[in-house]
Amino acid sequence: MALQLFSKKPVEPKVRPRPRPRLAEPDAFIPADRIELQADPLHQAMQLERYAYLIINRSEFKEHPDVDKLCLQACERIDDSFALVPEGFATIPRTLHDSPGAEEDTFETTPFLLGKHCVTNAQYQKFVEAGGYEQLELWPKELWPHLIDFKDLTECPGPRYWRHGRPSKKLMDHPVVGVCQFEAAAYARWAGFRLPTEAEWQMAATWRIRSVANTMRRYPWGDALDINRCNIWATGQGRTVPVDEYQPGAAPNGVLQLIGNVWEWTASDFEVTDHTGGPVVGDMHMATIRGGAYDTYFQMQATSVFRTGLVSLARAHNVGFRLAWNLRGN
């Protein structure tokens, strides 16, 4: 019998086909339509919702026949989309664990206007398409080397989770996320507004107005958590929702979603100490974010007074921002 060592068929590995994971299919990304920008700079400013910019720079357009009409319209739009936050107080703890008797600072806040909603993808798209990422005057000089990193998933300038410089068509009225504090501030500057300070944000959420009662709210709607009034982890949405949802969770002046949906960048640095007085720092500079997000697990971390920080260059999936404006312009 002939030796058949080398005439044997090679052994076929007994491999079962790999079962496909039963994971939810991600939503198909349908990009938003491109914006056709109007040629006339005044009308373009209105189209891009640069209302405060238009009002502040009115004199630049004084020869334009429509300037009065459009400035009036811009004022009306600000009236509609912003709410007055009266003067008041914000008491902010200096330590990480806000235990009774811990050191804290009390800030007086002057009246200001605060956006009723967070800035949406639709609004931010206008900034991107108008070339906001290329206008160096909107960005601090020390940040210019980082501008090249502010790309979307397809390497185009824009928020972290966009594609080809455009948001998902399905998320146009959701808050823009995937932007760092500098991108938020650049948008605000471009539109003529600014980011609220931490004290202003807290004042708006706690509604600690100057009054005899000297009360402050744990939530914008009152003192008890109600998951029907905000989008946090316990609510079960598991994702962002449009900025005009959860109307019952509005602050007394109509500002929505201060709690939940997305954390909000403020203009303030995050400075805090531990119980020994030692500083708590991040890998890089940190800014304060407030309000909690749709994935905030601990309810105590989604209140009007809970403060936390995030590296200001972080472009997180759950952090957005809203605008503020001084009553007499910025």
Partner 1 sequence: MARNSSVLSETKCLICGHDNEPDMLLCASCYAPMSIVQDARAQEREPKIVSVIGESNVGKTVYLGFLLDMLAHRAGAFEAIPKGAYSVDLQQNVIGHLARRSFPPKTPMEANQWYWAYYQVRREEADAPWVDLVMPDMAGESLAAEVSTPKTFRVIHSLLNKSKGLLLLVDAAAAANGSNQPDFFAMKMLSYVDSMFGGKHEEKIETPVSIVLCKADYCPECFDDPRSFVKANLNRVWNLCESRFANVEFFAASVVGSLGYATSLEDDTVAPVPLHTALRGVLEPFEWIIDQL
Check binding of 315 to partner 1 (CB under 8 A): yes
Check binding of 227 to partner 1 (CB under 8 A): no
Instruction: Give yes or no for a contact between 257 and 194, defined as CB atoms under 8 angstroms apart.
Output: no
Shorter beta-carbon distance to partner 1: residue 193 or 306: 306
Check binding of 2 to partner 1 (CB under 8 A): no
Specify which residues 109 forms β-bridges with: 88
Cα separation, 253 vs 117, whole angstroms: 12
Check binding of 23 to partner 1 (CB under 8 A): yes
The count of residues in the chain is: 330
Shorter beta-carbon distance to partner 1: residue 47 or 301: 301
Element (H, E) at 122: helix 121-129
Residue of the chain from 16, 62, 141, 328 that contacts partner 1 (CB under 8 A): 16
Phi, psi of 85 (to 5 degrees): -105, 115
The single-letter code of the amino acid at 130 is A
Angle at which helices 181-191 and 121-129 pack, to 10 degrees? 80
Cα separation, 262 vs 172, whole angstroms: 15
Shorter beta-carbon distance to partner 1: residue 128 or 293: 293
Stretch that binds partner 1, among 50-58, 104-112, 192-200, 289-297 (CB under 8 A): 289-297
Check binding of 279 to partner 1 (CB under 8 A): yes
Residue of the chain from 35, 86, 295, 330 that contacts partner 1 (CB under 8 A): 295
Check binding of 19 to partner 1 (CB under 8 A): yes
Residue of the chain from 44, 168, 308, 330 that contacts partner 1 (CB under 8 A): 308
Binding marks (x or -) toward partner 1, 83..112, rule CB under 8 A?
A: -------------xx---------------
Closest approach of partner 1 to the CB of residue 304, in Å: 15
Check binding of 160 to partner 1 (CB under 8 A): yes
Stretch that binds partner 1, among 106-114, 166-174, 221-229, 273-281 (CB under 8 A): 273-281
Burial status of residue 107 (CB atoms within 10 A of its CB: 0-12, 13-18, 19 or more): middle
Check binding of 277 to partner 1 (CB under 8 A): yes
Check binding of 310 to partner 1 (CB under 8 A): yes
Shorter beta-carbon distance to partner 1: residue 26 or 329: 26
Sheet holding 82-85, edge to edge: 82-85, 112-115, 324-326
Shorter beta-carbon distance to partner 1: residue 30 or 281: 281
Element (H, E) at 325: strand 324-326
Residue of the chain from 251, 318, 321, 324 that contacts partner 1 (CB under 8 A): 318
Residue of the chain from 4, 6, 21, 59 that contacts partner 1 (CB under 8 A): 21
> Regarding beta strands 104-109 and 88-93, do their DSSP bridges make them parallel or antiparallel, or are they unpaired?
antiparallel
CA distances from 137 to 95, 133, 134, 236 (A): 36, 10, 9, 42
> Regarding beta strands 324-326 and 112-115, do their DSSP bridges make them parallel or antiparallel, or are they unpaired?
antiparallel
Check binding of 257 to partner 1 (CB under 8 A): no
Instruction: Give yes or no for a contact between 91 and 104, defined as CB atoms under 8 angstroms apart.
Output: yes
Specify which residues 287 forms β-bridges with: 269, 310
Shorter beta-carbon distance to partner 1: residue 72 or 300: 300
* Residue in the structure block whose two tokens are 């009662």: 213
Residue ranges that bind partner 1, judged by CB under 8 A: 11-16, 18-19, 21-23, 96-97, 153, 160, 233-234, 236, 263, 272, 274, 276-283, 286, 289, 292-293, 295-298, 300-301, 306, 308-311, 314-318
